[in-house]
C-alpha cells in the first residue's frame, strides 16, 4: 500500500509539473544590426540568461531575433512593441523623442561626464524610482525592462582637420536626434543622421563630419571617410533600453517576469563591461588605420560649451508646458550626476 501511495503521489507531482511547464515565444526587435553592442547584448547575454532562468522554472523559451530593420527601423522599435508585433525591443529613446521625451535628458546636457557607466546607472535608477520616467512607458503601452544603453563619450569625426571652432564654420556636420543642438554656436550646419547612413553620406559628400562615439565609429569604419578625430569630451549619453509589450508582460507569472528581468540585468552588465574594454581598443585601431586623433584643448572645449544655446532649458520648458515636469527631470538628473562625481562644464539646470 505504501508503494502504491508513493506512486500515486509521484503521478500527481508529474502531472502538476506538466501543467506548470510552458514554452514562451518571444520576438526581439532592434532597428540596428547586431554589429552594434546594444543589439549584440541580446544574443550574448539576454537570451542565454533568460533561457537558463526559465529552464530552472521548468519552462522553455523560443526567441525570434529580428534585427537590422527586419520588422522595425531605427526609432520604430517602441511602436512595434506597443503594437504587439514584438514582445521585447531595444527601444531607442534617442530616435523616438516624441514618445520618450524625458528619456532624452542626457542628450540635452552635453559636457557633463564621459563616464558611460555613471550615465547608465543614473538613468536606470531614475527609471526604477522616478514616476516621471516610468510614465513615458506606461503612456505607450510598454514596460521598462532595463539594460540601459549608455554611449561612450561622443567625439567629432571630420574629413578635414579641426584646430579651432572656426574650422567648423559652414561645414555640414551630422548628429543624432537632440545632439544636433550641440552644434549651436560653432558655425557648423547641423544635419540629422544616424549610424546606419553615416558612412555612405560622408563618402558621397552629403556632409563633412559626424558627431559619433568611438565604439561604433571603429566597427562602422568611419575613420575611412572621416579620418580626423577630435576628442572634445561631449559626454557619454543614454540612448535607450529594453522594453516589453505591457499586455504581454502583465500576463506573465511573476517568476517568469523575474527571469526576464535577470536577462536584462545580465545584458546591462555585459554591455557596459564590453563597452569599457573596447573604447581604447577602438581608438588604437583607428589610429593604426591612419586616423589622426587629437584631444581638444581646454580652451576649445570651454569655448564650445559656453557658445552653445541652453537647449536643456528650452527642452525642459517645453515639457513643463505639456505637463511633463521637464525642469524637475533635468534638475534630478544633473543632481544625481554631480553626486556621482560628474563635473559639468555647464550646470544646465541652474541657468
Q: Give the three-state DSSP class for 283.
A: helix
Its pTM stands at: 0.88
Query: d(Cα 153, Cα 216) in Å, to the nearest integer?
Result: 11
Confidence of residue 2 (pLDDT cuts 50, 70, 90): very low
Residues with Cβ < 8 Å from 296, sequence gap 6 or more?
A: 230, 231, 232, 233, 304
The answer to which of 8-12, 50-54, 91-95, 262-266 has the lowest mean pLDDT is 8-12
Query: d(Cα 313, Cα 351) in Å, to the nearest integer?
Result: 8
Strands 228-231 and 292-295: parallel
pLDDT digits (tens, 9 = 90+) for 188-214: 999 999 888 999 999 999 999 999 999
pLDDT digits (tens, 9 = 90+) for 229-250: 999 999 999 999 999 999 999 9
Flag whether pLDDT at 217 surpasses 90. Answer: yes
Instruction: Determine the average pLDDT of the residues in 94-102.
Output: 90
pLDDT digits (tens, 9 = 90+) for 333-343: 999 999 999 99
Yes or no: say if 97 and 177 are a contact pair by the CB < 8 Å rule: yes
Q: Cell 559619433 sits at which residue?
A: 212
Q: What is the pLDDT of residue 20?
A: 66
Q: Got the DSSP string for 205-236? A: TS-SEEEEEHHHHTTTTGGGT--EEEE-----
Compute the C-alpha angle 69/149/348, nearest 5°. 120
Which grid cell is 108? 540635452
Cα within 13 Å of Cα(298), Cβ side: 1
DSSP 8-state code for residue 246? H
Q: What is the pLDDT of residue 19?
A: 44
Amino acid at each position: 500500500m505504501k508503494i502504491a501511495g508513493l506512486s500515486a503521489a509521484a503521478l500527481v507531482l508529474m502531472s502538476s509539473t506538466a501543467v506548470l511547464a510552458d514554452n514562451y515565444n518571444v520576438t526581439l526587435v532592434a532597428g540596428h544590426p547586431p554589429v552594434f553592442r546594444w543589439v549584440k547584448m541580446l544574443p550574448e547575454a539576454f537570451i542565454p540568461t533568460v533561457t537558463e532562468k526559465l529552464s530552472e522554472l521548468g519552462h522553455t523559451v523560443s526567441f525570434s531575433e529580428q534585427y537590422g530593420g527586419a520588422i522595425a527601423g531605427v526609432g520604430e522599435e517602441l511602436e512595434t512593441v506597443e503594437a504587439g508585433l514584438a514582445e521585447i525591443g531595444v527601444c531607442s529613446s534617442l530616435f523616438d523623442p516624441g514618445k520618450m521625451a524625458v528619456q532624452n535628458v542626457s542628450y540635452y546636457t552635453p559636457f557633463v561626464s564621459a563616464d558611460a557607466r555613471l550615465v547608465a546607472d543614473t538613468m536606470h535608477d531614475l527609471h526604477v524610482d522616478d514616476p516621471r520616467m516610468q510614465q513615458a512607458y506606461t503612456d505607450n503601452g510598454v514596460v521598462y525592462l532595463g539594460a540601459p544603453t549608455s554611449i561612450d563619450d561622443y567625439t567629432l569625426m571630420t574629413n578635414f582637420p579641426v584646430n579651432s571652432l572656426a574650422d567648423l564654420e559652414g561645414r555640414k556636420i551630422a548628429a543624432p536626434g537632440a545632439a544636433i543642438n550641440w552644434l549651436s554656436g560653432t558655425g557648423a550646419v547641423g544635419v540629422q543622421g544616424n549610424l546606419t547612413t553615416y558612412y555612405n553620406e560622408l563618402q558621397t559628400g552629403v556632409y563633412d563630419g559626424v558627431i559619433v562615439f568611438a565604439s561604433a565609429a571603429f566597427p562602422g569604419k568611419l575613420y575611412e571617410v572621416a579620418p580626423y578625430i577630435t576628442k572634445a569630451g561631449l559626454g557619454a549619453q543614454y540612448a535607450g533600453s529594453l522594453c516589453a509589450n505591457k499586455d504581454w508582460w502583465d500576463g506573465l507569472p511573476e517568476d517568469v517576469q523575474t527571469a526576464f528581468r535577470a536577462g536584462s540585468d545580465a545584458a546591462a552588465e555585459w554591455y557596459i563591461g564590453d563597452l569599457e574594454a573596447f573604447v581604447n581598443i577602438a581608438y588604437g585601431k583607428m589610429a593604426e588605420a591612419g586616423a589622426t586623433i587629437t584631444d581638444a584643448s581646454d580652451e576649445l572645449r570651454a569655448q564650445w560649451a559656453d557658445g552653445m544655446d541652453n537647449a536643456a532649458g528650452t527642452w525642459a520648458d517645453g515639457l513643463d508646458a505639456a505637463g511633463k515636469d521637464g525642469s524637475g527631470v533635468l534638475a534630478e538628473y544633473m543632481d544625481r550626476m554631480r553626486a556621482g562625481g560628474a563635473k559639468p562644464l555647464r550646470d544646465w539646470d541652474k541657468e
